[in-house]
Amino acid sequence: MSVFCPASEVMLRHADEFTERRVLFAGDLQDDLPCQFEAREVRVHCSQYHHWRQLARTLGEKAQFSLLPPPELIDGCDTLIFYWPKSKQEAQFQLNALLNQLPIGTDLFIVGENRSGVRSAETLLADFGPIAKMDSARRCSLYHFRSERQAQFDVSQWWDEYQVDDVIVKTLPGVFSRDGFDVGSQLLLSALENVKGKVLDVGSGAGVLSAILAHENPGLNLTLSDVNAAALESSKATISANVLQAKVIASDVFSDIEGRFDFIISNPPFHDGLQTNLTAAESLIRGATKHLQLGGRLCIVANAFLPYPDLLDATFGSHEVLAQTGRFKVYQSILGRPSAAPKDKKATKKR
């Protein structure tokens, strides 16, 4: 039996409304409700690769993963069910892209947890038609409106950029490190030494960590991966803007990763949407041994309270703390290092 997120439970309270509709699901989907939803037709646009992998097993080509929804996916749909993401700017970006293609008269149902800022839908969508709250339950809100005009949308206007020393960073809404080089990744970068060979950056975000490493260590063989479509496009743009060479691929941790690496680096997420979720980081640690060369290093930065040391020890036999602050720790484990190796160097390095 499927376990639905609170927003999906609210949608199920109105399931009878959709039985004769051609429905497009989009936004920050958290479960497999589209696979079980009763409607004349169901299609799904996923901006998260791991969500797409889950839904595509059942829906096939009716579920697609991309930054922007392809016209053929939208064609013929008369209803949009949009799950509000945790970033207001990301919601605005996605809704404008959808309203640019959806025909006038399309019914839109906007649902999300109140703490996500879903109430912002009332102001963001006011210019496209009258909007009304349909329901409030499970600490979520559900809104409905019928579009009266299409949005103007040009993806080039949504790009931002900033610089870290000589490195240009390109970003889109919803991307980690969108507004600047985050302090956790800075600490990770400060702790990395003798980086060479093949490097895998898992959860690359805007690509800032890899771009700086490549700038400082010419000749690296870089692979960047992420589940977020906007992050993948941002990583590609950052690599291109700095005239660097790297492979950028969509992968749910190691789902699409081939080969072995000398370094695996990551600032792994511990949220999926608004929910705390350590699954990706746990999969990263457990799966790293199959993707490291003998003597290869896994280096991650994480909030100090997260329970990764025991998992690193269980997987690798030992770990070291390369750097730490009051908030973050940088952990390293080496494939093939004896379990008697010292676990905590407690060395805080500054760049």
* Average pLDDT of the chain, as a whole number: 92
Q: Is the pLDDT of residue 209 over 80?
A: yes
- Mean pLDDT to the nearest integer, 174-186: 91
pLDDT at position 220 over 60: yes
Examine the pLDDT at 62 and tell me if it is beyond 80. yes
pLDDT at res. 178: 86
Residue 46 to residue 252: CA distance in whole angstroms:
13
Average pLDDT of the segment spanning 118-146: 95
Residue written as token pair 């030992």: 318
Pairing of strands 198-202, 261-266: parallel
Contact 87, 289 (CB under 8 A): no
List beta partners, residue 62: none
Percent of the chain with pLDDT over 90: 87
Mean pLDDT, range 243-257, rounded to an integer: 97
Each residue of 224-238: pLDDT tens digit?
999 999 999 999 999
> Above 60 in pLDDT, residue 345?
no
Residue 121 φ/ψ, nearest 5 degrees? -55, -30
Q: Is the per-residue pLDDT at 284 higher than 90?
A: yes
User: Going from the N-terminus, what domains does the chain have, and what CATH number goes with each?
Assistant: 6-147 (3.40.50.150), 159-335 (3.40.50.150)
The average pLDDT across 205-231 equals 96
Q: How confident is the model at residue 344 (pLDDT cuts 50, 70, 90)?
A: low
pLDDT band at 278 (very low <50, low <70, confident <90, very high): confident
Cα–chain-centroid distance for residue 343? 31
pLDDT band at 279 (very low <50, low <70, confident <90, very high): confident
Q: What is the pLDDT of residue 338?
A: 56
With beta carbons less than 8 A apart as the criterion, state whether 108 and 94 touch. no
pLDDT at 274 over 50: no
Nearest to 111 by CA among 242, 10, 213, 2: 10
Whether 273 shows a pLDDT value over 70: the answer reads no
Amino acid at 141: S
pLDDT of residue 341: 42
Report the C-alpha gap between 184 and 189 in whole angstroms.
Answer: 9
**What is the model's pLDDT at position 276?**
46
Name residue 301's beta-bridge partners: 330
Ramachandran region, residue 280 (left: φ > 0; alpha: ψ -120 to 50; beta: rest): alpha
- Triad 183, 189, 194: Cα angle to 5°: 170
Residues 6+ apart with CB under 8 A from 224: 201, 204, 207, 210, 235, 239, 246, 247, 248, 249
Phi, psi of 254 (to 5 degrees): -105, 10
Residue whose C-alpha is closest to residue 331's, from 340, 347, 339? 347
Give the pLDDT of residue 270: 60
Percent of the chain beyond pLDDT 70? Answer: 93
Give me the helix-helix angle, 308-316 and 279-288, nearest 10°.
20
Q: Is the pLDDT at 275 greater than 70, yes or no?
A: no
pLDDT of residue 149: 93
pLDDT single digits (tens) 64-117: 999 999 999 999 999 999 999 989 999 999 999 999 999 999 999 999 999 999
pLDDT(346) > 50? no
- As a whole number, mean pLDDT of residues 179-202 equals 95
Categorize the per-residue pLDDT at 307 as very low, low, confident or very high, splitting at 50, 70 and 90: confident
